[in-house]
Amino acid sequence: MPALRRSDWYDLARDLNWNLSYVTEDEAFPEVMSNNYGITPNEKWWGWDEPYKVSYREYVHNQHGKDASVYSVNSVIARSRMFEELDPGWKSAIVAHYGAIAVPEYLAGLGESRMGRFGRAAAWRNMALFGTLDETRHGQIQTYFPYTLLDKEPRMDWAHKALHTNEWGAIAARHLFDDMFTANDAVSTAIQLTFTFETGFTNLQFLGMAADAMEVGDLDFGALISSIQTDESRHAQQGEPTVKILVENGYADVAQRLVDHMFWRSWHVFALLTGLSMDYYTPLEHRSHSFKEFMQEWIVKQFLDQFRDFGLEPSWYWESHFLPELDWYHHALHLGVWFWRPTVWWNPDAGVSPAEREWLEEKYPGWNDTFGVYWDTIGDNLRRGEETKTLPETFPMVCNMCQIPVVTPAGFRAGKLESPEPQIHIHEGRQYVFCSEPCKWVFQLNPARFAGHTSVVDRFLGGEIQPPTIPGALEWMGLSPEEMGQDATNYAWAFEGFEAPGAAAS
Amino acid sequence: MTVASLAWHEAFAVDELWEGDFLDLEIDGEPVLVVHLVGGAIKAYQGVCPHQEVMLGDGDWDEDTGVLMCGGHRWEFDMSAGVGINPAGCTLYEYPTKVDDGVVFVGVPQDGERHYNRCPGS
Ligand code: FES
Ligand SMILES: [Fe+2]
Ligand SMILES: [Fe+2]
């Protein structure tokens, strides 16, 4: 053990800030890499101080221990039948998770390394170096674990493949993560990735998910997620000191705008991934709370506290758009993802057996009237043997910001939107479609950043996808027939409680 | 604050909580973490982390060093004194305790205030 306590030498050792003389500040920290938002000279950033401190020696020691333990859990479990015995809905949640998250972890490493070079204080660059190593580890571990499951579930290769395809969910993830960290400057990354996304969403989600995984008996995933969370929780702490510097220098409005922008975008992708997992894919007997309860008790509470602590306000859309969406948005997405199941790389679990519907109605009063009726029709069709009626023939509109299908009619039906119409916006002669006012608002904040992107539907209509048919589009998305999603339980849910001859219920 | 302004709540019998263990309790509607330190002292602190209010009882507890690490973001507290080690300078709210006839009591001030400290991102 070192003879000195960390606190005796730490401040001195990390104080590597100095004034530049051979180059200008702008040359060393160009705005595109590190937007100081007008806070100059650079000394004003030197007070940046991370709350939780760790030395390089401690870091390496800790990380080595974490890797040793999580990889040994994996190698023991690989020889067991644990995976085969997991619930099919849970497996789908895992396959979806790996595809959407593994490669973005590497990308987060790019964002971290940009902060590691262009962060405006030495202490910050030091933290971001650890963050870079963390995210590299997360990318590796989350491509390796699914790799060890390939013989049991070939679609585990989507952990690596998804982000390299044009699958629509992968485009939505890529669009979000490029905006948040791959193509973001260091200061904005600290507010948007570490403060908004990691502190606000993923760290809390990972805490909950690790517990859920243990509940359903997925020790492998549980160990993985909790190991990742221990890193996430540390490097996420780059956000708070950065917000503090902005606020102290009179730029609370900048921090507010960056948070409002990324909170909304994160919320939509979070609803898509986590909303479906929690309320439909996780086996009923293991659900400790609904997605809405999780959002209210963890995410909403934490954001309100953070807004208060740092002198920010709840986002302008908080009461008017965000809170109402908690009641309907992810239910609408679930219906859409299940119906368009050939377009995703996992097997959507309908999750609407009689007992599950009762739970949904209890957690979301009115669910039966708003969403249950669609599932009634789908169930009827399946029981009549008319599966084709439960499969898509066209594509929905896709939002030009979140890249997620527009589901406004469901919000209107649920009584939460004034109109079923999407938001239409014309910019430099091109028409853009948005699923919500906040998505349109994010576009308008910085049109030059977003205007050139074309959504899946723009490309379809623009003739880029040939042949312009559903099979043509599926091929363009990288989905072979074997990879396309199917109902996770082979429609067992539709026959539960029905004594149809030849029913698949068992 | 005078003793008269405290409401004493019976928490548990001393022999229910071994040395080196801790208990997560709700007392008078407030989350309270009671620790029985190696050496015998019994201390009661705010049950939620002063950083972002994750339950301290869900953290990692090292009974030998008396250090508790919050599961939220790894903050460490020396539970013999209720002070932050990493980061330093963040103190836990401490409730008075007393042992009477083998029973541990926790005192809750009747002042209408919330009994926990916060150290957001400091
Ligand atoms: S909530 Fe305890 S360390 Fe952040
Ligand atoms: Fe990560
Ligand atoms: Fe991260």
pLDDT tens digits, A291-346: 999 999 999 998 998 898 899 999 999 999 999 999 999 999 999 999 999 999 99
B90: tokens are: 């963040």
Q: Please check whether residue B53 touches A, CB under 8 A.
A: yes
**Nearest atom in ligand 1 to A233's CA:** 4
Indicate whether B25 belongs to any domain. Answer: yes
Residues of chain A with Cβ-Cβ distance to B120 below 8 Å are 240, 305-306, 309-310
Report the percent of chain A where pLDDT is more than 90. 90
User: Per-residue confidence at A192, pLDDT binned at 50, 70, 90?
Assistant: very high
Domain A52-505 bears CATH identifier 3.55.40.10? no
Q: Point out the ligand 1 atom lying closest to the alpha carbon of residue B73.
A: 3
- For residue A30, the tally of other CB atoms under 10 A from its CB is 12
| CA atoms of B121 and A311, how far apart (whole Å) | 13
**Chain-chain contact of B54 with A6 (C-beta, under 8 angstroms):** no
pLDDT at residue number A506 = 43
Question: How far is the C-alpha of A345 from the C-alpha of A273, rounded, in Å?
Answer: 13
For residue A51, the distance in angstroms to the closest alpha carbon of chain B comes to 5
Neighbours of ion ligand 2 (CB under 5 A): A 105, 135, 138
pLDDT tens figures, A254-269: 999 999 999 999 999 9
Q: Give the pLDDT score at B119.
A: 87
Question: What are the strands, taking DSSP E only, across A305-389?
Answer: none
Q: Does B75 touch chain A (CB under 8 A)?
A: yes
- The residues with which A174 forms a beta bridge, in sequence order, are none
pLDDT of A92 above 60: yes
pLDDT at site A497:
87
pLDDT of residue A273: 94
Mean pLDDT, chain B, rounded, equals 91
Tokens of B59: 């953290």
Instruction: Tell me the residue ranges of DSSP E strands in A361-459.
Output: 423-427, 430-434
pLDDT, chain A, mean: 95
Cα separations in angstroms, A120 against A35, A54, A185, B121: 10, 19, 11, 18
Q: Which DSSP letter does residue A183 get?
A: T
What's the confidence (pLDDT) of residue A254? 98
Distance CA A19, CA A198 (A): 32
Q: What is the pLDDT of residue A6?
A: 83
What's the CATH number where B41 sits?
Answer: 2.102.10.10
State the pLDDT at residue B114.
Answer: 83
Mean predicted confidence (pLDDT) in B73-86: 94
Share of chain A above pLDDT 70, in %: 98
What total of structural domains would you count in chain B?
1
Distance A236 CA to ligand 3 centre (A): 7
Judged against a pLDDT cut of 50, whether residue A505 lies above it is answered with no
> Is residue A504 pLDDT above 70, yes or no?
no
- The residue in chain A having the minimum alpha-carbon distance to the alpha carbon of residue B72 is A233
List CB contacts (< 8 A) between B73 and chain A: 51-52, 203, 233-234, 236-237
Whether the model pTM is above 0.90: yes
Residue B91 lies in a domain: yes
Does residue B76 lie in a domain region?
yes
> Which residue of chain B has the CA closest to A311?
B120
Q: How far is the CA of A115 from the centre of ligand 2 (A)?
A: 15
With respect to residue B121, please indicate whether it lies within any of the assigned structural domains. Answer: no
What residue ranges do the domains of chain A occupy? 52-505
* CB–CB contacts below 8 A, A to B: 51
Rounded to an integer, the average pLDDT of A384-407 is: 96
What values do phi and psi take at A288, rounded to 5?
A: -90, -20
Asked if the structure places residue B64 within a domain, the reply is: yes
Query: What are the distances in angstroms from CA A64 to CA A69, A71, A219?
Result: 9, 11, 20
Tokens of A453: 């992107």
> DSSP code of B55?
B
- Whole domain around residue B90: which residue ranges? 6-109
Helix (H, G, I), strand (E, B) or coil at B115: coil
**Each residue's pLDDT tens digit, B13-30:** 988 999 999 999 999 999
Question: What is the complex's ipTM, to 2 decimals?
Answer: 0.80
| Domain-embedded: residue B24 | yes
Contact A53, A129 (CB under 8 A): no
pLDDT at res. A126: 95
Phi, psi (5° rounding) for residue A344?
-120, 160
pLDDT digits (tens, 9 = 90+) for A141-164: 999 999 999 999 999 999 999 999
